Structure 1
């Protein structure tokens, strides 16, 4: 099996056929097709350390950036739920259940917004009825 990795060792391509790898700016190495190597994927979680494939150890800054991305995603998802519920309340046509859901999701949104991405402690997603 052939793997392509960037200057940091992060695996970005895996193939049995080296002709399918575009190595521009990458290094390519051939490794034995064994279970320890096949577990790797191309999503950034594995590195080639010069000898073998290992699980990537993220820096605290990388973990913070991942948490920032997750935070934005969770806030977007919350807004997707909140918007139609808030509209129903504004129009005076919300059911009691919709009002409860809106309150729960707005609270969740506030709590997600307050998460410290350097040390995230994510709130539970509201249970939708």
Structure 2
């Protein structure tokens, strides 16, 4: 199984590469000096090929190695098994040097995720509150809309009080059922 590390752009070295460079061909070289186009021949046809970053996070996956562009990434392959086909490129999988594994997030990453979720949920709440609030303000609200405005505003307040500094302990408030 191949595992070629840290490809980055480089200048063509051979006469053939220099000729290709005239046609805007870009060249990548691994930390060991392997040229990307030539190294593709080293990969097996029946494996899963993928790129991963310096944190070992999977960034792209393909059965066809030529579909990958590993600039500032490493490339490896694993057997084409059901377990390996479960990996994806959402940032939730890592390569441990031998196999795919679920990613373990740092506390800082978990806090950033919680901050992002809180921000998104608050924006969604404001989107629901705005038309309900206008309907109440203009005296055009139904009883259900008035009730839902109160529910959404309570939700928004509870959400704004969520402490994201301890993301594993967050108990997110329940989203109201009704959307205006």
**TM-score computed with the length of structure 2 as normaliser:** 0.70
Deviations along 1:52-85, one digit per CA (max 9) or x if unpaired, are: 1100000111011001111011111111110000
Write the mapping of 1:18-97 to structure 2, written as runs, cut at 5 A.
Answer: 18-97=65-144
Give secondary structure in 2 for the equivalent of 1:79: helix
The total of aligned residue pairs comes to: 129
Distance in 1 separating the partners of 2:176 and 2:69:
45
Alignment check: 8 A CA contact 1:2 1:31 kept: yes
Alignment check: 8 A CA contact 1:63 1:118 kept: no
Moved runs in structure 1, 4+ residues, more than 2 A?
A: none
Give unmatched runs, 5+ long, in structure 1. Answer: none
Alignment check: 8 A CA contact 1:4 1:11 kept: yes
Alignment check: 8 A CA contact 1:3 1:28 kept: yes
Higher relative contact order (CA 8 A, sep 6+): 1
Q: CA RMSD in A?
A: 1.1
Compare 119-128 and 105-114 and name the one that shifted more. 119-128
Alignment check: 8 A CA contact 1:3 1:13 kept: yes
- Matching residue of 2:162: 115
Q: Which is higher, the Rg of structure 1 or of structure 2?
A: 2
Deviations along 1:65-122, one digit per CA (max 9) or x if unpaired, are: 0011110111111111100000001111111111110000001011111101123210
**TM-score computed with the length of structure 1 as normaliser:** 0.96
